[in-house]
Amino acid sequence: MTWWENGACRGDHHPDDWFPDTPGSRNPNAVRAIQICRGCPVQTDCLNHAQNTPEIHGIWGGTTSQQRLGMRRRFTVPHGTNEGYQTHFRYGEQACPECREAHRIYQAAKRRIRQRAAQRDEAI
């Protein structure tokens, strides 16, 4: 038996509850689906499936598509790295302190490399 066969969404529920026309957690259908998900024995499995697939529409594991997008962004930022700093920037977020520090170190290293190259060029 697979996890979705034990889902609380199985049975006498309308599919529109899980795939509302208008996205967001304020839609009455979405609110109903999220309430049903809260008591579901496979909520975690459902959310994991939605994150790993990724499911970009509907209510999965008690979350909306926008909520899952936010979760993916948080989990995909390699915090404490210059790459993480750049990822924050791409998402339009303020970089976390760890990423700001990594970027500061990266910039300082870049300056040192340029200075050494300039000194080497002057010596030639």
**Domains in the chain: how many in total?**
2
**Cβ atoms of 12 and 54 closer than 8 Å:** no
Kindly report, residue by residue over 31-86, the tens digit of the pLDDT.
889 999 998 999 999 998 888 887 888 899 999 888 888 777 666 668 899 988 98
Beta bridge partners of residue 22, listed in sequence order: none
Kindly report, residue by residue over 92-113, the tens digit of the pLDDT.
778 889 999 999 999 999 999 9
Q: Please spell the DSSP secondary structure of 103-115, one letter per residue.
A: HHHHHHHHHHHHH
Q: Are residues 96 and 71 part of one domain?
A: no
Can you read off the two tokens belonging to residue 100?
A: 């700001």
Q: Are residues 90 and 48 part of one domain?
A: no
Whether the predicted pLDDT of 4 surpasses 90: no
Q: Which domain holds residue 104?
A: 82-123
Q: Are residues 89 and 107 part of one domain?
A: yes
pLDDT at 54: 74
- Average the pLDDT over 6-15 and give the result: 84
Q: Are residues 111 and 60 part of one domain?
A: no
